[in-house]
Structure 1
Amino acid sequence: MRALTLVACGLILAGCGSSNDNSKYIQDVDSGTTAIASESGQRTLGVNSYLWHATLDTLSFLPLQSEDPFGGVIISDWYSAPGTPNDRVKVTVYILDRRLRADGLKIAVFRQTKSAEGWVDAAANPETATKLTDAILTRARELRLAARPGG
C-alpha cells in the first residue's frame, strides 16, 4: 500500500513540472507595462512594473506574507521594530493602475500594541501611509529613469 502511495505521489509531482514554454518577460520602458511573451501569445500583467518593484524595494525591511503581481497586491506580515517590541505594524499595498501615477497606489497600515490580553488593535499614524506612498513613488521614478537608454 505504501509503494502505491509513493508511486501516486511521484506521478502527481511529475505533472507539476515546468512546461517547455519558453516564456520571456518583456517590459515597455515608457509605460512600465510588463508582459509575458511565449509561444502561445503575449499576456500583460495587471500592474505597473516600476510601482511593483519600487514597492518591494521600499518594503524590503518587512517580512512579506503574500505577493500577487497579476492582481497587484503585496501584504506584509506583522513587524516589530527592534526598539519597540510591544508595537507592531502590518502593511497592505494595492497597485491599482498600469500607469506610474500617484493615484495608482493604495496603502493600508495596521498597528497593534501588546497588552496583558495579547495583541490589541491600535490606531496607525495616518502619515505612515503617506510617507510610504511618497517613498514608493520616488523609487518607481528612479527605476523608470534608470531603465531608459542612457539613463
Structure 2
Amino acid sequence: MKKHFSSLLAAAFLLSGCSWLSALNPWAEEKPAAETREVVPEARGVNRYLWQASLEKMSKMPLLKTDLGNGTIVSDWMVVNGVPDEKFKITVRILCPELRADGLKVNVSKMNRIGGEWVQSQPDRRLAGEIEKIILKQASVLYRRAVAAGEE
C-alpha cells in the first residue's frame, strides 16, 4: 500500500505543478519562442531537440551532470514538496540522433529514510514514463518551431 501511495504521490506532484516538478508540467505555460530557440551544438548520436527539451524541463532541478557527448543529464537527489523521508534522482539518456520515442530513456531512482538511514527503493517507472512523455512533447514543439522557421 505504501509503495502505491508513494508512486501516486510522486505522479501527483509531477502533474500538480508543485515545487521543482513544475518544470515538467505539460500544462504549464510555454516559454516564449525567443527563449526556447537556443542553439544546441550537434553531438554525434544525440538528437538536438530531445537534448534541448530535456535541459528545459530539468532546468529547475539541481543537476549533477550534463554531458552532451554521451546524451546524459543527471539530477542530484531531491526531496519533493517537503516530504523528508523520500528523495528522488532523475537520469535522462538520449540514445540516438533521431527524434523518436525510443531514443529517450528516463530513470527515476528513489530512496526512503527508514530508521534514520537512506534505503534504495524500487525505481519509479510510472513517474519516469510521465517525464518521458513531457520531454517528448517539448521536443516535438521545438522541432515544429524549427520546421516553421525553415531551420529543418
Per the normalisation by structure 1, the TM-score is 0.67
- The equivalences for 1:1-151 within 5 A come to 34-35=41-42, 44-150=43-149
Distance 1:34 1:87 in 2: 36
**Alpha-carbon contact 2:109-2:124 (below 8 Å) kept:** no
RMSD: 2.1
- How far apart, CA to CA, are the structure 1 residues paired with 2:128 and 2:149? 33
Deviations 1:38-91 (A, max 9, x none): xxxxxx533111000111112223210001001101111101112312110001
Does the 8 Å CA contact 2:47/2:96 hold for their aligned counterparts? yes
Q: Deviations over 1:85-109 (max 9, x none)?
A: 2110001111001010000011111
In terms of fraction of residues, the more helix-rich structure is 2
- The corresponding residue for 1:25 is none
Where does the alignment leave 5 or more consecutive residues of structure 1 unmatched?
1-32, 36-43
Aligned partner of residue 47 in structure 1, secondary structure: coil
Which one scores higher on RCO, CA 8 angstroms, separation ≥ 6?
2
Find the aligned partners of 1:116 and 1:73 in 2 and give their Cα distance.
33
Residues in 2 aligned to 1:50 and 1:84: alpha-carbon distance in whole angstroms: 33
Larger radius of gyration: 1
Q: Distance in 1 between matches of 2:88 and 2:52?
A: 21
Aligned residues of 2:107 and 2:123 also touching (Cα < 8 A): no
| Residue 34 (structure 1) shift | 4.5
5+ long unaligned stretches in structure 2:
1-39
Cα distance 1:150–1:49, how it changes in 2: closer, same or farther (>3 A)?
A: closer
Give percent identity, aligned residues only: 37
CA distance in 2, matches of 1:126, 1:110: 9
> AA paired with 1:139?
Q
Paired residues of 1:46 and 1:69 also in contact (CA < 8 A): no
Counterpart-to-counterpart distance in 1, 2:132 and 2:138: 10
Partners of 1:93 and 1:55 lie apart in 2 by 7
- 1:72/1:150 CA distance change after superposition, 3 Å: closer
Give, in angstroms, the shift of residue 147 of structure 1: 1.8
Determine helix, strand or coil for the equivalent of 2:45.
Answer: strand
